[in-house]
Amino acid sequence: MTAPADSSLSLPTVLDDATRRFLRFARDRDPTALEMVLRDSSDRAYAHARRLLGNAADAEDAVQEAFLQLVKTSGRYDGSITFAAWLARLVHVAAVRALRSRGRRTRRERLVSSTSSGSADPAASDVHDVVRDAVKELPETFRAAIDLHYFSGLSQEDAATALGVSANTLAVRIHRARERLRRTLRSRGFAATGAIIVGALA
C-alpha cells in the first residue's frame, strides 16, 4: 500500500475525529489513539468487506488483514486524505485479494444463482431488497463504487481515493452501475427512476 501520489498537500483545516486520532498514532505511536480508532471503525470495515465478499468468515479475515496493513503503513499516513478513505482502500485491497485467491468467478456465480432463485414477482418483493440483491450481481469495480459511496457513506472524492482511481472514473462507475440497476429493476417489473434507485441505496 502506497501513500497518496501527492503527499505534500496541505492538511484539511478541520480533521474528523478518526483522522485526528490515527494521525496521532502515526506520528506519536499513541496506542490509545489506535485502540479508539480501531474500535470505532471495525463495524464499518466489516460491513464493507462482508458486502464485497458475501461471507462472514472471509470478511473477518479481510478486516484483520486490513488492520495489520493499517498499522504497518501508518508511518506513511499524513492526514492528506481522511482516515475513512485510507482504511476503505486497505479493506478493499484485502477483499479483492481474497476474491481472487478463492476463485472470484465461482463465488460470483454462486451468489447470482442464489439471488435469481428468489421470487421475481414485484408483488412479493420489495424494491429495496431487489436493488440490494442486484448490487451483488454487479461487476466488482461497480459494486465497490456503489458500496463505498452509498452504503459506507464516503464522498465520491474519498471513495475514489479509497479505490485508487480519479474522481471522474469513480463517477463514471457509479453512473454505469446505476444504469445496470435501472435495467434490472425494469426487467423485474419495477419503476426504475433515478430517485427510486438512490432511495433504495440510501
Q: What is the pLDDT of residues 107-165, one digit of tens each?
A: 345 544 544 444 444 433 467 778 888 888 899 899 989 988 888 888 888 888 888 88
Per-residue model confidence (pLDDT) at position 106? 54
Tell me the one-letter amino acid at 178: R
Please work out, in degrees rounded to the nearest 5, the angle formed at the alpha carbon of residue 174 by the alpha carbons of 47 and 95: 35
Rounded CA separation 161/89 (Å): 7
Residue predicted with more confidence, 103 or 40: 40
Cell of 122: 414485484
Rounded CA separation 118/88 (Å): 31
Q: Which residues contact 26 (CB under 8 A, 6 or more apart)?
A: 74, 75, 77, 78
Please work out, in degrees rounded to the nearest 5, the angle formed at the alpha carbon of residue 140 by the alpha carbons of 138 and 142: 60
Rounded CA separation 43/128 (Å): 22
pTM: predicted TM-score of the whole model, two decimal places: 0.60
Residue spans in the chain of domains classed CATH 1.10.10.10: 124-202
Q: What is the pLDDT of residues 45-95, one digit of tens each?
A: 999 999 888 889 989 999 999 999 999 999 999 988 999 999 999 998 898
| 13-105 CATH fold | Rna Polymerase Sigma Factor; Chain: A (1.10.1740)
Class of domain 124-202: mainly alpha
Residue spans in the chain of domains classed CATH 1.10.1740.10: 13-105
